[in-house]
């Protein structure tokens, strides 16, 4: 069963080196366990999705530059999330601020080919 996702949920990127928390602004005023719930448009870099510390994607310009500076050695570069589309797999039957709710099964894509997923959420006991 899909679970509600709120601010503080841990996100993981397939190319990132560390998880990062999801930041949901309390704009929609929909709460789960006293925390703002996420909708599919909570995908803004540096607002909702923070950097995953370092990136290992070979398509990321920062990684390409770091590898060039290291004479071709495999070196991660700074993570700068570049999200261009809403979360996919949201629950269209549960609306948060008029948009489908993000669930623990939702995914988001980064321009640098990373797949961002929800690792855990503080509202894991709330089924959508």
Please calculate the CA angle 100-43-113 and round it to the nearest 5 degrees: 115
Backbone phi and psi for residue 63, each to the nearest 5 degrees, phi listed first: -70, -40
Tell me, what DSSP letter sits at residue 66? H
Radius of gyration, alpha carbons of the chain: 15
- List pLDDT tens digits, range 16-71: 999 999 999 999 889 998 999 999 999 999 999 999 999 999 999 999 999 999 99
- Which residues on adjacent β-strands are paired with residue 103? 4
Burial 82-96 (b: 16+ CB within 10 A, else e): ebeebbebbbeebeb
- List pLDDT tens digits, range 68-97: 999 988 899 999 999 989 999 988 899 999
- List pLDDT tens digits, range 94-128: 999 999 999 999 999 999 999 999 999 988 778 87
**Whole-number Å distance between alpha carbons of 31 and 8:** 13
pLDDT at 126: 83
Number of other CB atoms surrounding residue 29 within 10 Å: 9
Q: Are the beta carbons of 101 and 39 closer than 8 angstroms?
A: yes
Number of other CB atoms surrounding residue 79 within 10 Å: 27
């Amino acid at each position: 069963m899909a679970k509600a996702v709120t601010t503080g949920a841990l996100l993981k990127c397939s190319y990132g080196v560390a998880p990062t928390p999801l930041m949901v602004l309390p704009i929609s005023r929909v709460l789960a366990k006293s925390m703002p719930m996420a909708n599919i448009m909570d995908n803004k870099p540096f607002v909702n999705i923070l950097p995953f510390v370092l990136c290992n994607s070979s398509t990321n310009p920062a990684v390409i530059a770091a590898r060039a500076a290291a004479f071709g050695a495999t070196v991660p570069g700074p993570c700068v999330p570049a999200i261009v589309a809403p979360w996919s797999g949201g629950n269209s039957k549960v609306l948060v601020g008029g948009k489908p709710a993000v669930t623990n099964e939702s995914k988001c894509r980064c321009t640098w080919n990373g797949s961002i997923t929800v690792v855990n959420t503080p509202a894991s006991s709330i089924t959508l």
